[in-house]
Structure 1
């Protein structure tokens, strides 16, 4: 990118447009969890069965993200990302008019194909557009959209689901996606392309154990979070006896802290470095999971969730920045792998949490989440040490 004022202004508007796009993708994720109780009641399925909507979408993105990266090779990012947002909107509109669980599950699976394309390609595009020194913070910035969606979409979808019904919440996501498509088309300059992803690129990314380990950290921490977060609404209602207003307040509190944590990450990641930032957020989430059995009232929940909430969405931003920093030439492939890992973790957490919920009840969820998180922390520390001592084996131009 040229350093002219026009180029700088274009980069700034693109960053905000991609942030808004990620906000919409996060809204699509949040809407299923936020309306879980009404979905189960309306469609006459169990809460655990309704929770599998999260797993279904996650599995689709996990599988489709690498294929979407191949599809995106050499294409204009402006048009491709706009189409992804349009598809996301149409898919969620189809979800809103579904009258039974099976059509809803199919529509959700198809709509989440857009997330498989948008999330990694947005990160790859902003990495290409940004100066090298600003690359990590730029990637982290656009992922503020994910945490912002928790502030607004989780409490709003929870409240709308309780008051108006879950179809209205899905319809709201559809409208936001169409708006985001228009904003992105107007804001992003044409002609932005990402480095081509060849078979050699995938081999280079996959043959370095430390890079693969960093990607697996994303999946493991996601599983730890979503083992509990997928069933946050029924936990508040059934265990804490929370009202609809209290549940919305809890979601809002979690989201506000999530945005705060992500903003802090953008400011501090250049000083701390991506590796320390990732390890710090993993430790922070583990603290809350250790203390989770003490959550017996809504005030206790609001207090003990603070470390987790601050780190929750910052964790994905830190991981994306870490990968973009380690191997810039492999960014499209690594971002696709990391996106797959994000949703693999969500699928594993939602599915595993549902199985534990059915067999052992709510009390088992936090301990399972903690186990996932501790494994993620150990693997992250190992990968950091390996790259610091040995460096990447593959000739990728990586920097440690």
Structure 2
């Protein structure tokens, strides 16, 4: 795998820290800005909404730019809005910074996915995807617990300053190491972006299989964020673990997520269906068990790791399948995956917050996560059965014509 792909993963790490760190900062933000826990949780949804809107818009705009220039513009914008977020005293302004940061993050991720695929060998899309998403999971392991720790010691604003500082080396790394056109493929790799057009890429997106994969990704990621956003209140409330242990438990979730994308990177290029079906069933069962046993410390600790692993193994595999299916649309394919997954990331916390606000308790997001994954499994099975019937009809028509 070209070294530039790993440097793109470094930039994704810095941005992933910002996306995930709110899970450990929600109580402090709620107290400081005098809003409710569900309102603070909606900052995650605001980020996700910006990702949904920004992914296709920024991807279309970036098709006209050299990829290195686009990556740098998105990173610098992301850095500046974190400075604003660190100094504001307004909840509304903080929400706005999350939306703008998400627009920049969406554009960066769409271009980074296309760049990584262009630089990687053609049969290694899952590996390239796992490197980029590995940046997100390392953010869960190191960045998110670090942000939670900073929030405990110096307040939530210090975590925003830390993200801005972490983006400086990412900017320098992209400037120095990503090729100027980012389109020179590895030996036998995908063609560069010079021939890409909006119309041509849009034509490649008109596939039923692609729409199904995007819907499944939204459901699975919705389940992940529905549970993860309210993990700290659950563990400190229902489970009874002291708040000081939260950075450790968030790191444990991050270790699980890193294990998940690593598994996907090694398996999903050759055997994606086994990972999607087996991992999906285990993921749904895990959320049910977590909800039922959240009052016990040991099962809760184990399931934090297990569910992190399963969530990211299944999610990363779905993203790589989107990229394989949309091979003719590397930038808009990545943007579509980003948008779909962030539809889930927006709806998931909203559903979880609604359930908590209705008095159903902090376990209710876990039950909702189990439901979302179960719906994804049912839709996937129905789509597969529909394809099988369509193939059988086509075969019979061919034989009848002969």
Q: Is it true that 1:363 corresponds to 2:363 in the alignment?
A: yes
Q: List alignment gaps of at least 5 residues for structure 1.
A: 1-10, 392-400
Between 1:367-376 and 1:242-251, the stretch displaced more is: 242-251
8 Å Cα contact 1:140-1:320 kept in structure 2: no
Matches within 5 A, 1:310-349: 310-349=309-348
Corresponding residue number in structure 2 for 1:279: 277
- Rounded Cα–Cα distance in structure 2 between residues aligned with 1:390 and 1:132: 29
**Distance in 1 between residues matched to 2:32 and 2:142, nearest whole Å:** 24
Q: What pairs with 1:379-394 in structure 2 (closer than 5 Å)? A: 379-384=379-384
SS in 2 for 1:99: coil
Q: Helix, strand or coil: the match of 1:271?
A: coil
Would the aligned equivalents of 1:77 and 1:191 in 2 still touch at CA under 8 Å? yes
Alignment check: 8 A CA contact 1:38 1:165 kept:
yes
2:364, 2:289 → 1: CA distance? Answer: 13
Distance 1:117 1:123 in 2: 10
Larger gyration radius, structure 1 or structure 2: 2
How does the TM-score come out when normalised to structure 1? 0.89
SS at match of 1:133: coil
Structure 1 counterpart of 2:394: none
Please say if residues 220 and 311 of structure 2, whose CA atoms lie closer than 8 Å, have aligned partners that are also in contact: no
Q: CA-atom RMSD, angstroms?
A: 1.9
In 1, are the aligned partners of 2:54 and 2:104 still within 8 Å (CA)? Answer: no
Q: Point out the more displaced range, 36-45 or 122-131.
A: 122-131
Q: Of residues 166, 172, 177 in structure 2, which corresponds to 1:187?
A: 177
1:274-331: CA deviation from partner (whole Å, max 9, x where unpaired): 3333333322321210101212133221123343121222333212211122231123
Task: Give the match for residue 266 of structure 1.
Answer: 265
Listed as ranges, the matches of 1:182-221 within 5 Å are: 182-193=172-183, 194=193, 196-199=196-199, 201-205=201-205, 207-221=206-220
Aligned: 1:301 with 2:291: no
Match of 2:250 in 1: 251
Q: Is there any run of 5+ residues in structure 2 with no aligned partner, and where?
A: 184-192, 392-402
Q: Cα–Cα, structure 1 residues 145 and 223, in superposed 2: closer, same or farther, change >3 Å?
A: same
Distance in 1 (alpha carbons) for counterparts of 2:333 and 2:383: 15
Whether contact under 8 Å (1:294, 1:300) holds in the other structure is yes
Q: Give 1:383 deviation, angstroms.
A: 4.0
Corresponding residue SS for 2:270: helix
- Verify the 8 A CA contact 1:88 1:111 in the aligned structure 2: yes
Whole-angstrom distance in 2 between the partners of 1:113 and 1:270: 29
Report the Cα distance in structure 2 between the residues aligned to 1:118 and 1:390, rounded to whole angstroms. Answer: 38
**For the Cα contact (< 8 Å) 1:210–1:387, is it kept in 2?**
no
Residue 251 of structure 1: how far off its partner (Å)? 0.7
Contact 1:135 1:324 in 2 (8 A): yes
